[in-house]
């Protein structure tokens, strides 16, 4: 089954939106197989955002993601990478579909509450960057998995 990485950013934590955001993944039927609240080091932030190195907003990106706790998650499900991108919405909240997290909870692309992997390669890279293998808790079945007999 496909897996993706997602992280609730410091504004989501500080604004008390964690439950509302996590609920969207649960109600979709996706399986959360790892989750932790953590303070992100500059080193981890730099590795995570290495593709943005040199861009004008790079320093702000690093300062922001290290400015408070983040809730990192690994989410599993059929086509979960694409599905999660839809649930999360476009980077710019003004362009995100109504009903997506970024449209519903965010005003700016700098403080857009959540990150989600954008491809199979990024998902693999980001999951292994943020989680050790023994932090993945896939030893349970969701009610949907039981229904589907998987
Ligand atoms: P995220 O999904 O975490 O991945 C990279 C982040 O960079 C993105 O969300 C935005 O928060 C941020 N970002 C992308 N484009 C811009 C931009 N033009 N100006 C400021 N921040 C941006």
Considering only CA atoms, which of 79, 78, 77, 75 is closest in space to residue 116? 75
Say if pTM beats, i.e. exceeds, 0.85. yes
Q: Is 109 in the pocket of ligand 1 (CB under 6 A)?
A: yes
pLDDT digits (tens, 9 = 90+) for 7-27: 999 999 999 999 999 999 999
Q: Is 91 in the pocket of ligand 1 (CB under 6 A)?
A: yes
pLDDT digits (tens, 9 = 90+) for 97-145: 999 999 999 999 999 999 999 999 999 999 999 999 999 999 999 988 8
Distance CA 16, CA 147 (A): 33
End-to-end CA distance of the chain: 10
Query: Residue 37: in which H helix or E strand, if any?
Result: strand 31-38
């Amino acid at each position: 089954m496909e897996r993706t990485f997602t992280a609730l950013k410091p504004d989501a934590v500080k604004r008390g939106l964690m439950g509302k955001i996590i609920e969207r993944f649960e109600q979709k039927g996706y399986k959360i197989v790892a989750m932790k609240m953590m303070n992100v080091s500059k080193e981890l932030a730099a590795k995570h955002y290495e593709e943005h190195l040199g861009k004008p907003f790079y320093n702000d990106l690093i300062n922001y993601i290290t400015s408070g706790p983040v809730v990192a998650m690994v989410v599993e499900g059929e086509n979960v990478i694409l599905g999660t991108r839809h649930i999360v919405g476009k980077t710019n909240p003004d362009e995100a579909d109504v009903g997506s997290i970024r449209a519903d909870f965010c005003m700016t692309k700098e403080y857009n509450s959540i990150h989600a992997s954008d491809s199979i390669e990024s998902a693999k890279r980001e999951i292994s960057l943020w989680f050790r293998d023994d932090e993945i808790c896939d030893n349970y079945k969701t009610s949907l998995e039981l229904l589907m007999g998987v």
